[in-house]
Structure 1
Amino acid sequence: MTTNDIQHAFQDDPLITQLRDAKPVLWRNDKLTTFEQAVSDVGLTLADVEAAQARLQRFAPYIEQVFPETAAAKGIIESAFYRTPKLQQALSESGTPIKGELYLKADNELPISGSIKARGGIYEVLQYAEALALEQGLIRETDDYRQLDSEECRQFFSQYSIAVGSTGNLGLSIGIMSAKLGFQAQVHMSADAKQWKKDKLRSHGVQVFEYEGDYGQAVENGRKLSEADPYGYFVDDENSKHLFVGYAVAGLRLKQQFEQAGIEISADRPLYVYLPCGVGGGPGGVAFGLKLAFGDDVHCIFAEPVQSPCMLLGVYTGLHDQISVQDIGLSNHTIADGLAVGRASGFVGHAMQRSLEAFYTVEDALLNELVRQVYQLEGLKLEPSACAGIAGLQHFAEVDNALHLVWATGGNMMPDEVFKAILQG
């Protein structure tokens, strides 16, 4: 469909009209069904996610050795979850009385790259490195993977390049991990990418390509250059099942964390999870893992900026990656750089369209306000996109006895001067 066809087809649709006007909206997904029925849409199983978890475990000794900040967790890249009573009280006092309990999943504190992308992004690099090393005979699966931290292995990996298109956070995880192993790391950054993220990548020896266009242009150019390189590997954020299962491990781990904390999720104690969404790979993978862990007792809700509601638009219309936010007249400009995506992942849209509870949009001004509020009340450092989940509480606060979990996707590695500027407004 052309842009004109799309505008004509949906010109009288009330939800599309609200989206076009950049008004905050909530859409309760009318495609939702039981996970038993919906799981076939994904094309992946629990066994795939468990295999990813096992691979991360094999790499844990290597990760611990080359990234000392992971030593306390013995090389496992995982985040804590926190009860946030002061934030809950403030939200209640400002008109969102939450009947259940409010928690925050602190992916903003994930080591190495400081965001949710440290899950899927680092995992995809590791699975590629493992495949090459096994094929070359550098390691066996039963070996201690710390032996990959050698000049011989880095020399071997240096023959290969790993590239990705990114608005920022995925680029950090792919670039830092690839460079550490010895790969030629290349990150193609859209105009929305923050300067500090480009600077950080370059400090790790990553080659950064900058574009005036949006995320789509960065991906397209990155893919072309990578395909022209016989030793090039392109991380396809829109379609990668490796990224997806890397993210999905989070669901299995959260279940373990809840069990250790004595938290039981059930139909009588449902879990509501609020996930900021860009192209969809991160939140889609996490949502799949959560569904594998908790079934129909978990309700996954996607949050997007008013100017970039690509996943909502794709799933609602059924057009997925065949429609962009620009097709309905939106700009795709937002302070939430990780969410500045105009066209959603078709793979994730098709895979998760019957598993997601709802979608909503949020204005930039509220994101900045929430950054300040979370820091002042809970002392947590979040970037604007990581606060998108908090805005969804107003829509589901009335659910009795629910556990509400906001997935805080990034922010801890933001330079102090950048964060201070947000706090000062």
Structure 2
Amino acid sequence: MEMDLTLYQDIIESLQSRKQIVWLNPKKTNEIKIDSSLIDDAEDRFNRFAPYFEEVFPETKIHNGRVESELQLIPEMQMELSILGKLYLKRDDALPISGSIKARGGIHEVLFVAEKIALEHEVVSKKDNYAIFATDAIRPLLRNYTIVVGSTGNLGLSIGIMSAILGFNVRVHMSHDAKDWKKELLRKMGVTVVEHSVDFSLAVDKGRAEASLDPTYYFIDDENSKQLFAGYAVAGRRLKQQLREQGVEISQSHPLYVYIPCGVGGGPGGVTYGLKESFGENVHCYFVEPTESPCMLLGMATGLHDQIAVNDIGLTNRTIADGLAVGRPSSFVGKQMEPLLEGIMTISDEQLCKYVRKLYKAEQIILEPSAAAGFIGPQNLKKNIHDPDATHIVWATGGSMVPKEEQANYI
């Protein structure tokens, strides 16, 4: 597609320089319009499936069948980065089942599909105990259906694991960025992994095309799915409860700053949506993207959204942060974020590795490089935010399922 990019020359040149930058969203407004019913529906579905999770995934019993992660104060890392206020790590790297933020959205959409099929075939009602999904009363039915998804890694992992355990057939189209250990883990669970020598968007296209040929195939669309988005959004409400339990006040005089790694946008977009519902103008959300893959920044800054890709301006979309290696953003999420998002930052691969090492040295926590992206947020803002009453949350997005030898390589 021919595009006249001269209107956006300044921001494009900044991105082409591959320097770490901070872009502030000029379309952010004080008028927050959130469709709470979207989050209500997802939260209710998670609650209905809680007995199933307790039955199949014993690690969820500590949260009464919730797929939830810890909010951890990290004082040693705070000292390392010289941050005022309080610094927390949202441990979605340790979410049950698939060890990444994708366990929220990906698992929610698989539950949505399983429930829809079961309700249509009248083998369950919403009043039933959903532990029935762990029995042969429903699994044979779900074996007649196939879940299809395109992924750089972690979404495929969460959808593949959840779908296979429920009884679905699963086909995961992986882009060239996906780590080998993620592919092998899926194959061990009986998932069909289709490898492509192309980037994320083309892998998604391949999955979408395959699913369109068979009515028993269900395609989970990481670029445009409202069910993924809704699953992520539940996190905002749950974070409100976690902060309350830790005695943390969030108000105009005690603001909250949240920094979330961003790939195609679904995860960080959904989380931001839920946070804005919970905290309104008292929360300030930032996305962080690799300098070679700043697709959401490029799409939002130009207003072109999914009509422009990082390759169009000469960037490679190649980064150590495999989960963030996305060249074209979600149009759905970008437009949802226009009135809500504070800004977007970029980070180099070198800096990602430095934060992985710093966090391990300070707190003995190992993250995937992509999951450490958020630490550049409070570092970038500390010159402007001299507020001892502020709370900063770096959202960790993956890491606990990484094999030990791979973790050693990260360090």
TM-score (norm. length: structure 1): 0.94
How far does residue 8 in structure 1 lie from its aligned partner after superposition? 4.3
Determine the C-alpha separation between the residues in 1 that align with 2:4 and 2:238.
41
Determine the C-alpha separation between the residues in 2 that align with 1:261 and 1:134.
39
Q: Check conservation: 1:191, 1:211, Cα contact below 8 A.
A: yes
1:149 is aligned to 134
Q: Check conservation: 2:11, 2:301, Cα contact below 8 A.
A: no
Asked if 1:272 corresponds to 2:257, the answer is yes
How far does residue 375 in structure 1 lie from its aligned partner after superposition? 1.1
Determine the C-alpha separation between the residues in 1 that align with 2:6 and 2:271.
35
1:16 is aligned to 12
2:50 is aligned to 60
How far does residue 110 in structure 1 lie from its aligned partner after superposition? 0.3
The aligned amino acid for 1:55 is R
**1:272-421 alignment to 2 at 5 Å?**
272-397=257-382, 398-399=384-385, 400=387, 401-421=389-409
Q: Output one character per residue of 1:75-102: Cα deviation in whole Å (capped at 9) or x when no partner.
A: 210001111111111112xxxxx22211
1:76 is aligned to 66
Asked if 1:104 corresponds to 2:104, the answer is no
Q: Check conservation: 1:275, 1:406, Cα contact below 8 A.
A: yes
How far does residue 396 in structure 1 lie from its aligned partner after superposition? 1.8
Matched-pair identity in %:
54
2:248 is aligned to 263
SS of the aligned residue for 2:149 comes to: strand
Determine the C-alpha separation between the residues in 2 that align with 1:312 and 1:8.
17
How far does residue 15 in structure 1 lie from its aligned partner after superposition? 2.2
Determine the C-alpha separation between the residues in 2 that align with 1:68 and 1:185.
23
Q: Check conservation: 1:24, 1:361, Cα contact below 8 A.
A: yes
The aligned amino acid for 1:79 is S
RMSD over equivalenced CA pairs, Å: 1.1
- Structure 2 residue corresponding to 1:241, chosen from 226, 237, 255: 226
- Structure 1 residue corresponding to 2:215, chosen from 227, 230, 234: 230
Determine the C-alpha separation between the residues in 2 that align with 1:394 and 1:150.
49
Asked if 1:25 corresponds to 2:21, the answer is yes
How far does residue 69 in structure 1 lie from its aligned partner after superposition? 2.1
SS of the aligned residue for 2:49 comes to: helix
2:38 is aligned to 48
SS of the aligned residue for 1:404 comes to: strand
TM-score (norm. length: structure 2): 0.97
Determine the C-alpha separation between the residues in 2 that align with 1:253 and 1:7.
41
1:95 is aligned to none
Determine the C-alpha separation between the residues in 2 that align with 1:289 and 1:122.
17
SS of the aligned residue for 2:366 comes to: coil
Determine the C-alpha separation between the residues in 1 that align with 2:4 and 2:81.
38
- Structure 2 residue corresponding to 1:91, chosen from 69, 81, 106: 81
Q: Check conservation: 2:89, 2:394, Cα contact below 8 A.
A: yes
**1:142-181 alignment to 2 at 5 Å?**
142-181=127-166
How far does residue 9 in structure 1 lie from its aligned partner after superposition? 4.3
How far does residue 74 in structure 1 lie from its aligned partner after superposition? 2.3
Q: Output one character per residue of 1:306-345: Cα deviation in whole Å (capped at 9) or x when no partner.
A: 0000000101000000000001110000000000000000
How far does residue 395 in structure 1 lie from its aligned partner after superposition? 2.1
Q: Check conservation: 1:7, 1:328, Cα contact below 8 A.
A: no
How far does residue 7 in structure 1 lie from its aligned partner after superposition? 4.3
SS of the aligned residue for 1:151 comes to: coil
The aligned amino acid for 2:62 is A
Q: Check conservation: 1:6, 1:328, Cα contact below 8 A.
A: no
1:137 is aligned to 122
SS of the aligned residue for 2:171 comes to: strand
Unaligned runs of 5+ in 2: none
Determine the C-alpha separation between the residues in 2 that align with 1:31 and 1:101.
29
How far does residue 111 in structure 1 lie from its aligned partner after superposition? 0.7
Q: Check conservation: 2:77, 2:363, Cα contact below 8 A.
A: yes
Runs of 4+ in 1 over 3 A off after TM superposition: 6-10
| Equivalent residues, number | 408
The aligned amino acid for 2:173 is H
How far does residue 38 in structure 1 lie from its aligned partner after superposition? 4.1
Unaligned runs of 5+ in 1: 93-97
